Amino acid sequence: MNSKEVKETPHIKPNGVEIAETILLPGDPYRAKFIAETFLENPVLFNDVRGMLGYTGEYKGKKVSVMGTGMGSPSMAIYSWELINVFGVKNLIRIGSCGAMQKDIKLYDLIFAMGAATNSNYAHQWNLPGQFPLTASFELLEKAKKVADEKNYKVHIGNVLSSDVFYNADETATEKWANMGILAEEMETTSLYMNAASAGVKALTILTVSDHMITHEQTTQEERQTAFTQMVEIALNMVGSS
**Count of Cβ atoms closer than 10 Å to residue 45 Cβ:** 14
Does residue 195 sit within a domain? yes
For residue 71, say whether it is annotated as part of any ligand binding site.
Answer: no
Does residue 14 sit within a domain? no
Mean pLDDT of 44-70: 97
For residue 224, say whether it is annotated as part of any ligand binding site.
Answer: no
For 176-226, what is each residue's pLDDT tens digit?
A: 999 999 999 999 999 999 999 999 999 999 999 999 999 998 887 776 655
For 153-162, what is each residue's pLDDT tens digit?
A: 989 999 999 9
Does residue 7 sit within a domain? no
Mean pLDDT of 102-109: 94
| Residue 229, SS3 per DSSP | helix
Does residue 81 sit within a domain? yes
For residue 210, say whether it is annotated as part of any ligand binding site.
Answer: yes
Between CA 75 and CA 205 the distance in angstroms is 15
DSSP lists the bridge partners of residue 55 as 45, 66
Whether the pLDDT of residue 4 is over 50: the answer is: no
Select from 205, 198, 199, 235 the least CA-distant residue to 88. 199
C-beta separation of 83 from 56 below 8 A: no
Whether the pLDDT of residue 174 is over 70: the answer is: yes
For residue 31, say whether it is annotated as part of any ligand binding site.
Answer: yes
For residue 96, say whether it is annotated as part of any ligand binding site.
Answer: yes
Whether the pLDDT of residue 7 is over 80: the answer is: no
pLDDT at site 59: 97
For the entire predicted model, the pTM comes to 0.94
Return all residues near 218 (Cβ < 8 A) that are at least 6 apart.
Answer: 107, 210, 211, 212
User: How would residue 1 be classed by pLDDT, with cut points 50, 70 and 90?
Assistant: very low
pLDDT at site 171: 86
pLDDT at site 227: 59
Is position 211 annotated as part of the catalytic site? yes
Does residue 17 sit within a domain? no
Whole-number mean pLDDT of the chain? 93
What is the DSSP track for 105-137? Answer: --TT-EEEEEEEEE---GGGGG--SSPPPEE--
Q: Which CATH number characterizes residue 148's domain?
A: 3.40.50.1580
Split into its structural domains, the chain has a count of 1
The pair phi, psi for residue 228, each rounded to 5°, is -90, 65
User: How would residue 63 be classed by pLDDT, with cut points 50, 70 and 90?
Assistant: very high
Does residue 145 sit within a domain? yes
Domain range enclosing 78: 22-241
The one catalytic residue in 48, 104, 164, 211 is 211
